[in-house]
Amino acid sequence: MIKTSPPATSYFASCLRLAQKISQQRYELVSILSKYETYETANDEIDRAIATLKGLEEEFSPIKKPLDSLTISTFFPLNLPIYSLVIFGIAPSAFAKNVFIRPPEVMHEVLTELYSYLKINDLFPNISLHAVQRYIFMDLYAYESDVIIFTGKYENALDIHKKCPQALLVYNGSGINPFVVLENADIDLAVQKAVEMRCFNSGQDCAGPDAFFVPHTLSDLFVGKLQQELENIKVGSSADPKVRVSKTIKNTYIEKLKEFLTKERENLAFGGEIDYDKHLVYPSIVRKTLQEHGTESFHEFFAPVFYILEYNNTSELERTLLSQDFKDHTMYICLFGSDENLKKKLGFATVVENQIVNDVEFGNGQYGGYGSKSNFLLYGDIKIDRPMLISRDIHEILADRV
């Protein structure tokens, strides 16, 4: 029988000590992170990590009977090493005797350096890194785990659940996360926020928008202003503090993007340049009508590519937004302008009005939407489609079952 007890005071004290350490050593940490991401991204994730660590005690306050002896395996995302460590490692460690973390191969070096520099093992001795191939991690850790936290492809999540049916699977995937620009939108604000979100972390974020729906009557204005903004984006080495778009982490992302841009050559309105030697994708705009897009699947971009789809009226827009495939792959919808009737129909998503995900997301709150292939919990034959909050999800499913 797994014991239950409130989180130890020492756990929250360790969280605060780590928050202080991160704050005091920001310069050194940005230097480490700049090997992997831009200065802008590094400072953003440091701020989020500090705030989340400080908020964990309040986040856990509704939980009166948390578990303290679970074994948890975490498959890390590709982005935001420090913030991901807090969300997917330190937060769930309050429940655990062991948290085993498998970083992606491309993140292994930087995460190991951060882990050592921050002395995570001293503060949280139940957390350990294991940079091994997925099948080895499965054999050594996941098969014996009570909880598996997975960030990645939907099909891989189902495969892991099939192989580890005894475990609670907490799935944090990705979605289309569209921008919907309405006739009454503040175009300057919409353009500013579009650039801010699509270029964040050089376009490599699971909440990045893979489609921008713009009224035909506003498309020339929107695209013109967008191009003006993108012409001023500095692209290059992440060691340069002024660079906003740096290298794309995985070669496979670039190869898939190359195929996409080749297919959409006639619709390329701006950019399209890829420096294969330096793994740099320059900001680009692809522009077409919603009718031309038809029912094809949406490309998941991990690069600063703006896929603009012009629509003629709300009915045409709704046919896409309310289609089942779109619903299944949606986490957030950023709505610029106001349309209460449309908003009421978007209950399958987390709707953000006149803001972007980075404006509203914080580590002590739930993340994502209700798409059946974007965020969910799986435990035996129980499946719950909803935004993820690891502290709530683990406690709610397992507290009375183990």
173: tokens are: 């995937």
pLDDT at 3 over 60: no
Q: What share of the chain is helix, strand, coil (3-state, %, to 5)?
A: 45, 20, 35
Report the DSSP pairing between strands 212-215 and 305-311: parallel
- Of the chain, the percentage scoring pLDDT greater than 90 comes to 91
Nearest of 229, 132, 217 to residue 188 by alpha carbon: 229
The β-bridge partners of 388 are: 367
Mean pLDDT of the chain: 94
Q: Would you place residue 47 in the very low, low, confident or very high pLDDT band (cuts 50, 70, 90)?
A: very high
Q: Are the CB atoms for 202 and 38 separated by under 8 Å?
A: yes
305: tokens are: 């590519």
pLDDT for the residue 402: 58
pLDDT at 4 over 70: no
Q: Are the CB atoms for 105 and 79 separated by under 8 Å?
A: no
pLDDT for the residue 2: 41
113: tokens are: 């350096």
pLDDT at 1 over 50: no
Rounded to an integer, the average pLDDT of 298-310 is: 95
pLDDT tens column, 100-135? 999 999 999 999 999 999 999 999 999 999 999 999
Distance, in Å, from the CA atom of 163 to the CA atom of 216, rounded to the nearest integer, reads 48
- Of the chain, the percentage scoring pLDDT greater than 70 comes to 97
Rounded to an integer, the average pLDDT of 28-44 is: 97
pLDDT for the residue 8: 67
Q: Would you place residue 200 in the very low, low, confident or very high pLDDT band (cuts 50, 70, 90)?
A: very high
Residues of the chain with CATH 3.40.605.10: 9-173+374-398
Q: Would you place residue 251 in the very low, low, confident or very high pLDDT band (cuts 50, 70, 90)?
A: confident
pLDDT tens column, 148-185? 999 989 999 999 999 999 999 999 988 999 999 999 99
Question: What residues contact residue 298 under an 8 Å CB cut-off, 6+ apart?
Answer: 176, 210, 211, 307, 329
pLDDT at 248 over 90: yes
Rounded to an integer, the average pLDDT of 282-301 is: 95
395: which DSSP letter?
Answer: H
Instruction: Count CB neighbours of 262 within 10 A.
Output: 10
Residues of the chain with CATH 3.40.309.10: 179-360
pLDDT at 37 over 60: yes
Rounded to an integer, the average pLDDT of 142-150 is: 96
- CATH code of 179-360, in short, is 3.40.309.10
pLDDT at 364 over 50: yes
The CATH number of domain 9-173+374-398 is 3.40.50.300: no
Report the largest interatomic distance among the alpha carbons of the chain, rounded to a whole angstrom.
64
